[in-house]
Amino acid sequence: MKIGGRTQLNAPRTEVWETLTDPRKVTPLLPGGEVVEEENGETWRARLGVPTNLGTSTFDFTFTLLEQRPTEYVRVYGHGYGSQNIVDLTAELHLSEEGEETQIRWEGDVRLGGVLASLGQRSLLYVLQQQIENVLRALEAQQSAEAPAQ
């Protein structure tokens, strides 16, 4: 299942980049996310509570940073297992500056197994798109909260 989109965040690119590539910063932004174990800078395990149209399912994910060009591009692979479902995803994020803001173009390839797969990729597609938007908006809100008062 291919997904993708484009979002503009009201935050500097370097700060967005740091958050997106730091497991301890990005994981809490994911739904129900908590870092379980960081193996090294490129692989970490996380537990997520993923909302689907069946309710929220807990998944144990292993994320691996496959490729990165600082502040411009990152490619991440994630494998999740939970509630007898599997999720395999590869995500690519392209960051560019738009004035003081950051534009993110993202593409993903998601493969589902188990009951989730049967839920109709068509309905999950919308849920996933929405979740990614939510994560990026959360990142923006976090940056905004951390920014020094003007």
Residues that bind another protein (CB under 8 A): 58, 81-86, 111-115, 117-121, 123
Q: How many CA atoms lie within 13 A of 114 on its CB side?
A: 13
- By beta-carbon proximity to another protein, the closer residue of 119 and 138 is 119
Question: Would you give the end-to-end CA distance of the chain in angstroms?
Answer: 43
- State the DSSP H helix or E strand holding residue 44, giving kind and residue range, or none if neither: strand 43-52
Query: CB 134 → another protein: shortest distance, Å?
Result: 24
- By beta-carbon proximity to another protein, the closer residue of 36 and 147 is 36
- By beta-carbon proximity to another protein, the closer residue of 14 and 58 is 58
Query: CB 58 → another protein: shortest distance, Å?
Result: 8
Q: Cβ-count burial of 34 within 10 angstroms (0-12 exposed, 13-18 middle, 19+ buried)?
A: exposed
Query: CB 24 → another protein: shortest distance, Å?
Result: 25
Integer Cα distance of 24 and 7 in angstroms: 22
- By beta-carbon proximity to another protein, the closer residue of 121 and 129 is 121
Neighbour count for residue 147 (Cβ, 10 Å)? 12
Query: CB 102 → another protein: shortest distance, Å?
Result: 35
